[in-house]
Copies of this chain bind each other. A is one copy, B any other.
Amino acid sequence: MQGVLAPVLTPFDRDLNPDPSRFARFCRTLLDEGCDALALFGTTSEANSLSLEERERLLDAVLEAGVPPHKLIIGTGCSALPDTVRLTRKAARARCGGTLMLPPFYYKNVSEEGVYRSFAQAIDRAGEPRIRVYLYHIPQVSQVGIALGVIGRLLKAYPGVVAGIKDSSGDFENTRAMLRAFPGFEVFVGTEKLLLANLREGGAGCISATANVNAPAIARAFRSRTEETQREIDVVRARFEKLPLIAALKEAVASRTGDETWRLLRPPLVELSAEQRQTLRAG
């Protein structure tokens, strides 16, 4: 797996139920716009605001719409082990390209041993040797990070299964340390701001929220690998980072498609204020 992946936004209807057919259409659009693959059910997708059944129905709709499963990485990491196992099996049996796995995120200050066991048990219990697991390191949100020591143990215990990581820490020193410690490990950065830096160190690409609205330019930057294309995508990213990111991305899609239900988020997230909307438009 390599290139530019969008962690796909989840559209809701006016009752705040996810809309599978709109989701599937949006997935196809993102691939048409140049995304190499898609990460369904990441932070940007409001995945942890969805029930298991809702995630399953959304994935089914995407597969039924003809999106090739090998182009999908499925967010499966939940707080509860049986939930992670259930979603991981579903992704494996649908022959998806991989799973993106958060550690359990309710308890804080947990030990490295506890984080290791969480992943190990999820993989063991799923019992799907063909699955490729991408670890999901986003400590500023999950508050539970994935230390280098844990990754090393997992790579030793599950070679060919633990395939890579999404490093959304924004700390490029951490990204570089993983690339140097684990040759062949597929390291994606969580923002296109670090795309060129990551590629120069041998990284696999980026899985970035902003790919929901700027996929063609990010895909160009991935292919050309020049400072100039990197600067172009940095400008767009900076505009969105001034605002609550998921709400701003949904606002941009609503505005582009003319479909204002795209603005809807599930609580605890809220839509942009009138003032924030103005800031986005001015950008």
Contact = CB atoms under 8 A, between A and B. Distances in A.
Interface stretch (A136-144, A153-161, A175-183, A225-233): A136-144
Interface string A18-50: 000000000000000000000000010000111
Interface string A94-110: 00000000011111101
B104 A51 contact: no
Interface in A64-106: 79-83, 86, 103-106
Contact of A107 (B79, B117, B141): B141
A117 B140 CA distance: 23
Interface string A230-242: 0000000000000
A108 B54 contact: no
B79 A49 contact: yes
A276 to B, nearest CB: 12
Interface in A179-217: none
Interface residues of A, number: 38
A165 to B, nearest CB: 18
A111 interface: yes
Nearest to A111: B270
Interface in A246-283: 266-270
A215 B99 CA distance: 44
A171 interface: no
Contact of A268 (B103, B268, B270): B103
Interface of A: 16, 43, 48-51, 53-54, 79-83, 86, 103-108, 110-111, 113-115, 117-118, 121, 140-144, 266-270
